[in-house]
Structure 1
Amino acid sequence: MAQTEQMTRCIELCLSCYRTCLGMAMNHCLETGGKHVEPRHFRLMMACAEMCRTSAHFMLINTPHHKHTCRECAEICAECAKDCERVGGMDECVAMCRACAESCRAMAA
């Protein structure tokens, strides 16, 4: 089964979201402190980054199990977007997580 255009786009979004979440957590959040480094928020960002990377990996190796990872990825990304919005000053992360969640939701269907 060949990679579809939809899957290729989802892989790119997952990898972008991985970069955004990890980069923002390790730089913006750590340097800003306060709400940005609350354990629950910080762990969620790490979980989101890792789940995005895993979803991209599963699609790249072309296993039908990508539907499961994409479903979980959509859930975590939606939760991360909401929490980054709550913390504030993280618009890039919010937008990226929402786009990734939407794409992963479609891939999981």
Structure 2
Amino acid sequence: MNRIDPKVQECIDRCLACYSACLSTAMGHCLETGGKHTEPAHFRLMMACAEICRTAAHFMLVGTRHHRHVCAECAEICAECATDCERIGEMQDCVEACRRCAESCRLMAA
């Protein structure tokens, strides 16, 4: 079995943690709280963030060199999602997961 580089594994783990945080926060906290938490632009951003994180993890697990492109986009979307979740408030777990993922994905994209 091929061993995954520790930095790649860390990024995979952070991507999957961000996927989980964004999806569970959106489906639980945001839908239940309503108001600004369910503004269409914000909610779509959270869903896009969750999906790009899942996709980035998938590309790294597959071992394709194209993961760099996906990770670059993932870093950008995660940073935007962190900023927007912080703006709305009450989603610190999501903000932190997005920031950690963005940081790792930037390294993978370089």
Give TM-score scaled by structure 1 length. Answer: 0.98
Identity within the alignment, %: 67
Q: Shift of residue 3 of structure 1? A: 2.0
* CA distance in structure 2 between the partners assigned to 1:96 and 1:58 by the alignment: 19
RMSD between aligned residues: 0.9
* CA distance in structure 2 between the partners assigned to 1:80 and 1:72 by the alignment: 12
Q: Deviations over 1:7-65 (max 9, x none)?
A: 00000000000000000000000000000000000000000000000000000000000
What is aligned with 1:33? 34
| Match runs of 1:68-83 below 5 Å | 68-83=69-84
Q: Deviations over 1:71-109 (max 9, x none)?
A: 000000000000000100110110110000000000100
Give TM-score scaled by structure 2 length. Answer: 0.97
List 4+ stretches of structure 1 deviating above 6 A: none
* CA distance in structure 1 between the partners assigned to 2:16 and 2:100 by the alignment: 12
> How many pairs align?
109
